Amino acid sequence: MTIPATSGKISHFTNKQLFKIMSFTIKRALISVSDKTGIIALAQQLANHQVEILSTGGTAQALRDANIPVVDVGDYTGFPEILDGRVKTLHPKIHAGILARRAIDKNTLTELDIPFIDLVIVNLYPFANTIAKPDCTFHEAIEQIDIGGPSMLRGAAKNYQEVAVVIDPEDYQLIIEHLSQHHLTEQHRLILAQKVFAHTAYYDTLINDYLAEHTAEVLLPTKRTLALTEQLSLRYGENPHQAATFYQQGIHKTGLAASIQHQGKPLSYNNLLDADAAMECVTAFTQMPTCVIVKHTNPCGVAIANDLLTAYQRAYQADPTSAFGGIIAFNQTLDAKTAQTIIDTQFVEVILAPKFDEAALEILKHKPNVRALTYLSDKNIDRLSYRSISGGLLVQEQDNQMIDTNNWKIVTNKKPNADQLTDLTFAWQVVRFVKSNAIVYAKNGQTCGVGAGQTSRIMSCEIGILKAKQAGLSLNQCVLASDAFFPFSDSIEAAAKAGVAAIIQPGGSLRDQEVINAANDLNMAMIFTGIRHFKH
């Protein structure tokens, strides 16, 4: 963000405000930067205006190489750099010069022969760039934790009424203009100070997150910060009257933050929500080609097959009405034939795949508004899930519970056969990505009807049955997955009437025996997993 310069006209200022502007002069600047972008041009302008420049190490050398007068901090303080540069600016003469209040502390500084420092230009050791390197060692990362830099920045930001502090090269022009126009107001300096604290908070959060990765356990500390950087400015949020931005968390790009958009309109807030839901679901399937179609963050059609085209066709067949304007995700490279079938079949907002054939991308160019994204799955990264509520955040571990059939318990007299067990496993994998109350009907590796987000489980059951009828799919001898237990036997009876042969659910209701008895009476198989998959 560049802070806009004020207008050259000053007639609108009061006398008091005008005094504050004109009274801020820069006589002495401290410059210590790892990112030297634009620093020579700024330092040259400072020198041209007779500003004394204090500097350290590589920055001082760069200024000398450009024939810009500079005073080494060690010469200024009378104390050399020690501990291989770990201590160089941590000195009273530096920090008193930054923190001193001109009116209150003038006598103290005069007695101690400490000059005021009016401008601090610092950016920090490149910790983020260091840990982003694949071969970065823990020792190298630790050495890139800046100590003196944040101390100077925070001191200057605290004393913004007396000192200007710059951490962003984009703000150098503001200082250059001030040297001749004297327009750096106290409000400008406050904004510059705020940018400092935002940056140092981000910097410290990166360090915290990095150290947390090297501890033995995932901790949920009592105080927590998030390191977020703007990834994409969105046209609007869920609705046109809502502003929205997509932020990347941390420095390691994964998931949608690491996606590459090959074509199509800019992504919207809702596109990203739906795309994330589709990606999460489809990457849960690794053994066979899989297609997931999502609408309003819920899978409306999921199918596995021996090839990607068939998987898409079966996923679309599961709910063609809801698929209109949906998000389509694949777990394998999208080929040309599948891409052509999609654009010949339906209107689609976003297509996601881990890779696209060049021929597939050429075909999609005939639909320039369709967004085509490659994604990087982050299934191997232990992430926390954040959700905002009024006044705070809810934080939890991701629901990455792996399927373990050894813990499943057949609770009915009838046992599922091999095909039914395969379908039960498929349906159980899908149901955890459906909003509660969640019901999934499936057969032969295809969802036949999905009931999502209802306030009663029986309603979700009935909606799933209705969806199957609308799609012309038979539920005879299909299976049913429920994300949570059945509180009553009414859902079991409705499922049996629709043709369901086997059910998988967590169990755990006070009426479990009533539900089991109903299944036995209706000659149905039922499995308890002992794991619930609520998704609110």
3-state secondary structure of 16: helix
Contact 121, 29 (CB under 8 A): yes
Contact 279, 254 (CB under 8 A): no
Pairing of strands 326-330, 348-353: parallel
User: Which residues touch 138 (CB under 8 Å, ≥6 apart)?
Assistant: 214
> Do you know the residue count of the chain?
536
Could you tell me if 197 and 154 are in contact, meaning their C-beta atoms sit under 8 angstroms apart?
Answer: yes
The dihedrals phi and psi of 264, each to the nearest 5 degrees, come to 105, 170
Q: Which among 124, 131, 122, 119 is positioned nearest to 147, based on CA atoms?
A: 124
The 10 Å Cβ neighbour count of residue 184 is 24
Q: Are strands 28-33 and 119-123 parallel, antiparallel or unpaired?
A: parallel
Catalytic residue among 296, 337, 469, 535: 296
Return the bridge partners of 234, or none: 244
Strand partners, 327: 294, 350
Identify the CA nearest to 383 among candidates 491, 240, 256, 203.
Answer: 256
- 31, 59 in Cβ contact below 8 A? yes
> Is position 296 annotated as part of the catalytic site?
yes
Encode burial over 102-130: b for 16+ CB neighbours within 10 A, e otherwise: eeeeeeebeeeebbbbbbbbbbbbebbeb
Nearest to 109 by CA among 91, 118, 97, 95: 97
Tokens of 286: 């690794």
Cα 348 to Cα 327: distance, rounded to the nearest angstrom: 6
**133 catalytic residue (yes or no):** no
158, 252, 337, 535: which is the annotated catalytic residue? 158
Instruction: Give the active site residues.
Output: 158, 296
